[in-house]
Chain A
């Protein structure tokens, strides 16, 4: 009963920071946007009132206009692809490449508001070496001594820090 209560409280607290998390989640750990995948949505966002933007019927349909792929030949420029590559991902595996992007930012922000233990905070990325634990029909992630409860937010999964279930 008590642990369950704690979990409920954790989730309740998590709900408070969901706004910030949703923002972080949209950033997706290093991404600022993703291509839209549907046409027929009531997309009221970023409504652009530039009425002149669609008047040029002769706009360029030449799909070959950017064929020079060798323009930027310095391909080693950003070879550290783990830098920000945490895109649209469920979670990381193994010990590689823990990304300190949005997740940590969210955790820090929450720490200030909640407690030093950060129970109830929400992260988008798990630390390395986590284990999936299914208990009483619910899925948890155990990362060392820290437990997370996954939750689906839109198309992504975020993780609420909880006390051990």
Chain B
């Protein structure tokens, strides 16, 4: 026991300097191989992006998304959607999500959170914690609801899962909508993902590709962002008022989404 702990510590020291403390019982060789796969430049780019995101006071994003769903027989169906998000940090949020199959509006004013299903003419409201980041956690853990683009509120914060990365790589420069970005690929348990981060003084994520590995069909999610760092809005935008002909429904508490 003591020897294996020592081996582990040495391995970590010898290599890059403690990037990933993995919970599994890795041999030193495996640890070495794993850490070598963590490119410092790629990790630094991720850190810069997170740090920069946490400096933003307000922003608006138009995200164009595609999400793949896997049928029972392994065939994939790709659905397209758009997500418009307006955030005033730390406690105001308005998201309009439209896909081929459903529409959702998410409204948060620092006290209450409402999901409004326009086509179903129904909404659900629950009490909410005081910040968007905490809101994302509560929705995830208590209601099994993934706030669209929730990652944006976690990068550069305590819930960023950079320690979970098992591979990080810089691919090269790449254009996203005419903007020159750095293209990075990462791997963590159950997920391969790619991000395109704007080069220069404004390291904004411009594109994400997530490939889920836990299904052999490897369904993919792609999101391309257009940013507005000076959005205009009034406070009323973050307060939900039920339109006429729309009724309330219950938001059911579920086990964490993690327990799929």
Contacts and interface: CB of A to CB of B under 8 A. Distances in A.
> What is the size category of the interface that chain B forms with chain A?
35 or more
B129 interface: no
Would you call the interface of chain A mostly helix, strand, loop, or mixed?
A: loop
Interface stretch (B11-19, B29-37, B87-95, B233-241): B29-37
Contacts, number: 214
A138 B67 contact: no
Contacts of A42: 161, 256, 258
Contact of B37 (A11, A33, A55, A150): A55
B38 to A, nearest CB: 9
SS class, residues of chain B in contact with chain A: mixed
Nearest to B252: A153
B167 interface: yes
Contacts of B121: 132, 134, 139
B214 A46 contact: yes
B2 interface: no
Interface residues of A, number: 56
Contacts of B190: 36, 43, 45-48
B124 A152 contact: yes
A144 B67 CA distance: 34
A55 B115 CA distance: 42
B77 interface: yes
B257 to A, nearest CB: 7
Given A55-B33, A88-B99, A35 B248 contact: no
Contacts of A22: 144, 254-255
A30 to B, nearest CB: 6
Nearest to B79: A88
